[in-house]
Amino acid sequence: MKTVQLEHLLTDAGGTEIAEAALVLPITFMLLLGIYWFGRALNTYETINHAALEATRAAAAHSCSTCTNANLTPDQIATYVQQALQASGLDPTQAAPIPPADETIISCADGTSETPVNPDAGYPQINVYYNAQLLPTSRVQACGISVSFQYPYQFYLPFTSSLNPVWLKTRVQMRVEE
């Protein structure tokens, strides 16, 4: 009789569902969190890319139809970035210029000037390049304006709180309208 009970205890499958759920649910939860935070990273990247596009578009357009086209100042260009970032709920003061070692800008015949933004005015820190060669790998040389910056993003996944933020970088170039 005792061997039948022992054999029944060893072959009984009761409670295995709980053990399997205890193994699978944490993995599923971490997978869902990863999908969410990577989606937020993509949203943040698209937002900073849109902000740089709006600033570059404003800098490349004519200031008025009857006067000569004067370039916007870097602070005015940074205002466009600031407004786009604030509209999406991002902190514009976290924007930082891309270091020159990470960015290759080829100048046109009349030279490229990197213009820093005034940090004391509360503007986002961006790089503005006037007279930059657009698409430097193509055979046709076109000159225009380039706006670039980077924005930090922190993943909040389990066991990643001590990791440094990921810097999302954007650079938008546009030919100046004539």
Residues 88 and 46: their CA atoms lie apart, in Å, by 10
Nearest CA among 90, 95, 97 for reference residue 44:
90
Name the pLDDT band for 72 (thresholds 50, 70, 90): confident
At residue 74 the predicted structure's pLDDT band, cuts being 50, 70 and 90, is confident
List the alpha helices (DSSP H) in 12-157.
16-60, 74-87
Distance, in Å, from the CA atom of 130 to the CA atom of 109, rounded to the nearest integer, reads: 12
* Across 114-136, average pLDDT: 74
- Give SS3 for 79: helix
Mutual orientation of helices 16-60 and 74-87 as an angle, nearest 10°? 150
Share in percent of the chain as helix, strand, coil (round to 5)? 45, 20, 35
pLDDT confidence band for 120 (50 / 70 / 90): low
Tens of pLDDT along 25-39? 999 998 898 899 899
Percent over 70 (pLDDT), the chain: 73
b/e burial code for range 140-171 (CB count within 10 A of at least 16 → b): eeebbbbbbbbbebeeeeeeeeeeeeeebbbb
